[in-house]
Structure 1
Amino acid sequence: MLTDRRTAILGGALAVAAAGLPRKALALTAPSPARQFPSKRPAPGDRKFASPAVEGEIARVTRMIADPELAWMFGNCYPNTLDTTVRQSTVGGKPDSFVITGDIPCMWLRDSSAQVQPYLHLAKDDPRLRDLFRGLIGRHARSVLIDPYANAFMEDSGAPTSLSWAKADETRMKSGVAERKWEIDSLCYVLRNACGYWRATHDPAPFDSEWNEAARAIVRTFREQQRKDGKSPYTFQRASRQPTETQLAGVGLPTRKVGLIHSAFRPSDDACLYPLFVPANLFAVTVLRELAAVVMETRHDAALAREATALATEVERALAAHGTMTLPDGRNVWAYEVDGFGNAVFMDDANIPSLSGLAWLGCVPATDPRWRRTAAAAWSPANPWFFRGKAGEGIGGPHEGIGQIWPMSLTVRALSATDDATILRCLATLKRTHADTGFMHETFDQDDPSKFTRSWFAWANGLFGELILHVARTRPRLLQAPLDRLGV
Structure 2
Amino acid sequence: MKLNRRSLIAGSLALTATPVIGAAPRFESKRPANRHFTSPAVERELVRVSAKIGDPELRWMFGNCYPNTLDTTVFMDMADGKPDAFVITGDIECLWLRDSSAQLNPYVHLAREDPKLRELFHGLIARQARSILIDPYANAFMRDPMAKTNLPWALADDTEMKPGVAERKWEIDSLCYPMRLAHDYWKASGDAAPFDALWAEAARTSIRTFRAQQRKDGPGPYRFLRRDKLATETQILNGYGAPTKKVGMIHSMYRPSDDACIFPFLVPANLFAVAALRKLAIVASEAAKDNALATDAKALADEVEAATRAHGTMIDPATGQRLWAYEVDGFGNGHFMDDANVPSLSALAYLGAAPTSDPLFQRTAAAAWSDRNPYFFKGTAAEGIGGPHAGLRMIWPMSIIMHALNSNDDATIRQCLRHLKASHGGTGFIHEAFDQDDATTFTRHWFAWANGLFGELMLDLARRKPNLLGAPL
Comparing both chains, which one has the higher relative contact order based on Cα–Cα distances under 8 Å and sequence gaps of 6 or more? 1
- Relative to the length of structure 1, the TM-score reads 0.91
User: CA shift at 1:69, angstroms?
Assistant: 0.6
User: CA shift at 1:230, angstroms?
Assistant: 2.6
**1:272 and 2:270 aligned:** no
Q: Which amino acid aligns with 2:208?
A: R
User: CA shift at 1:35, angstroms?
Assistant: 5.8
Give the SS at the match of 1:69. helix
Q: Which amino acid aligns with 1:115?
A: Q
User: Cα deviations across residues 351-404 of structure 1 (Å, max 9, x unaligned)?
Assistant: 000000001111000000010000000000000000001111000000011000
Q: Which amino acid aligns with 2:307?
A: A
**In structure 2, C-alpha distance between the alignment counterparts of 1:109 and 1:299, rounded to whole Å:** 21
Stretches (4+) displaced over 2 A: none
Q: Contact (CA 8 Å) 1:103, 1:454: kept in 2 or not?
A: yes
**In structure 2, C-alpha distance between the alignment counterparts of 1:312 and 1:92, rounded to whole Å:** 33
Q: Percent same amino acid among aligned pairs?
A: 66
Q: Which has the higher helix share?
A: 1
**1:162 and 2:153 aligned:** no
Which stretch shows the higher mean deviation, 473-482 or 344-353?
473-482
- The residue correspondences of 1:290-309 to structure 2 (distance < 5 A) are 290-309=279-298
**1:426 and 2:412 aligned:** no
Out of 390, 393, 405, the position equivalent to 2:395 is 405
**In structure 2, C-alpha distance between the alignment counterparts of 1:169 and 1:337, rounded to whole Å:** 25
Q: Which amino acid aligns with 2:169?
A: K
User: Cα deviations across residues 135-190 of structure 1 (Å, max 9, x unaligned)?
Assistant: 00000000000000000000000000010100100000000000000000000001
Partner of residue 327, structure 1: 316
**In structure 1, C-alpha distance between the alignment counterparts of 2:197 and 2:208, rounded to whole Å:** 16
**In structure 1, C-alpha distance between the alignment counterparts of 2:71 and 2:260, rounded to whole Å:** 32
Out of 114, 117, 135, the position equivalent to 1:129 is 117
**In structure 1, C-alpha distance between the alignment counterparts of 2:181 and 2:138, rounded to whole Å:** 17
Q: Which amino acid aligns with 1:395?
A: I
Give the SS at the match of 2:166. strand
**In structure 1, C-alpha distance between the alignment counterparts of 2:129 and 2:415, rounded to whole Å:** 40
Partner of residue 22, structure 1: none
- The residue correspondences of 1:432-451 to structure 2 (distance < 5 A) are 432-451=422-441
Structure 2 regions of 5+ residues with no counterpart?
Answer: 1-23
Give the SS at the match of 1:425. helix
Q: Contact (CA 8 Å) 1:54, 1:119: kept in 2 or not?
A: yes
- The residue correspondences of 1:39-438 to structure 2 (distance < 5 A) are 39-43=29-33, 46-248=34-236, 249-329=238-318, 330-438=320-428
Q: Contact (CA 8 Å) 2:397, 2:420: kept in 1 or not?
A: yes
- Relative to the length of structure 2, the TM-score reads 0.94
Give the SS at the match of 1:96. strand
Q: Contact (CA 8 Å) 1:69, 1:431: kept in 2 or not?
A: yes
Q: Contact (CA 8 Å) 1:403, 1:446: kept in 2 or not?
A: yes
**In structure 2, C-alpha distance between the alignment counterparts of 1:229 and 1:480, rounded to whole Å:** 57
Aligned alpha-carbon RMSD (Å) = 0.8
Give the SS at the match of 1:450. strand
**In structure 1, C-alpha distance between the alignment counterparts of 2:110 and 2:290, rounded to whole Å:** 28
Out of 465, 470, 473, the position equivalent to 2:455 is 465
Give the SS at the match of 1:253. coil
Q: Contact (CA 8 Å) 2:192, 2:288: kept in 1 or not?
A: no
Q: If you compute each CA radius of gyration, which structure gives the higher value, 1 or 2?
A: 1
**In structure 1, C-alpha distance between the alignment counterparts of 2:448 and 2:469, rounded to whole Å:** 23
Structure 1 regions of 5+ residues with no counterpart?
Answer: 1-33, 484-488
Q: Contact (CA 8 Å) 1:230, 1:257: kept in 2 or not?
A: no
